[in-house]
């Protein structure tokens, strides 16, 4: 069900490209979160992302794409909390976000990619991390299949709003910009990923009240890539 708004679906789809969001995001949240991380007191949301990464078996170096990376701040959380096992790259569709990310982290690769149509080959990265990104996509099923397609072995859906009820879409304000906000029926989300050849190996609630979960899914290596959106 949609709340009262004159914002079109097309406008919502481009909302996170707003040039004012990166600065507001840094001032309101990421600056203080990163300060806590550097002081040895990481926010719980970062700690759970690292815990999800540590749930991936083995010890070999893995490539990781943070799809919907915003200003790239999770590169710090992963480096501090999960060690050097993961070779981090970030991707976002916002030029403004990427400009900040590249300025803050010049040694990291940041790609301009749209989760709705990711211009990468199949199984391009060992691990794909997507934090609170699908929740803002109108065609979220196609976007989820795109994440599954480019994932070589592990897909992490971090900070995913789920419910036992029906999947629903509303609007909310993010940094004074109207954006789409999906809440997913958990069984529906899982079934989509099972059909893409994945099974769950980790889940944990991000916030005490629940309803917002971090998942790790592992690919069945003999399962064909699902291209149908």
Question: What is the fold, at CATH topology level, of the domain defined by 9-219?
Answer: Rossmann fold (3.40.50)
Indicate whether this model's pTM tops 0.85.
Answer: yes
Helix (H) or strand (E) holding 126: strand 125-131
Identify whether the C-beta of residue 145 lies closer than 8 Å to the C-beta of residue 128.
no
Identify whether the C-beta of residue 97 lies closer than 8 Å to the C-beta of residue 70.
yes
DSSP state of 180: E
What are the tokens at 177?
């910009």
Q: Domain ranges in the chain?
A: 9-219
- Residues near 14 by Cβ (< 8 Å), separated by ≥ 6? none
Task: Give the β-pairing of 168-174 and 125-131.
Answer: unpaired
Q: Give the model confidence (pLDDT) of 4-46 as tens digits.
A: 444 566 678 788 899 999 999 988 899 999 999 999 999 999 9
Q: Give the model confidence (pLDDT) of 116-168 as tens digits.
A: 999 999 999 999 999 999 999 999 999 999 999 999 999 999 999 999 999 99
Cβ-in-10-Å burial (0-12, 13-18, 19+) of 175 comes to middle
Quick one: CA torsion of 91, 96, 99, 105, rounded to 10 degrees?
A: -60
Residues 184 and 188: their CA atoms lie apart, in Å, by 7
Name beta bridge partners: 87. 63
């Amino acid at each position: 069900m949609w709340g009262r708004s004159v914002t079109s679906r097309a406008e919502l789809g481009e909302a996170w490209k707003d040039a004012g969001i990166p600065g507001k995001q840094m001032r309101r949240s990421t600056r203080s979160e990163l300060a806590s991380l550097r002081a040895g007191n990481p926010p719980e949301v970062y700690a759970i992302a690292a815990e999800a990464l540590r749930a991936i078996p083995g010890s070999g170096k893995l490539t990781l794409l943070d799809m919907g990376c915003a200003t790239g701040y999770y590169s710090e959380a992963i480096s501090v909390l999960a060690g050097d096992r993961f070779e981090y790259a970030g991707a976002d569709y916002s030029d403004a976000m990427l400009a900040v990310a590249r300025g803050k982290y010049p040694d990291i690769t940041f790609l301009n990619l749209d989760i709705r149509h990711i211009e990468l080959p199949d199984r391009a990265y060992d691990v794909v991390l997507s934090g609170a990104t699908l929740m803002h996509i109108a065609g979220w099923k196609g976007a989820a299949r795109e994440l599954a397609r480019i994932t070589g072995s592990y897909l992490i859906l971090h900070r995913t709003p789920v419910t036992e009820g029906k999947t629903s879409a509303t609007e909310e304000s993010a940094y004074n910009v109207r954006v789409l906000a999906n809440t997913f029926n958990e069984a529906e989300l899982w079934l989509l990923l099972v059909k893409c050849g994945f099974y769950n190996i980790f889940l944990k609630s991000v916030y005490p009240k629940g309803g917002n979960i971090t998942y790790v899914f592992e690919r069945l290596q003999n399962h064909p890539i699902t291209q149908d959106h």
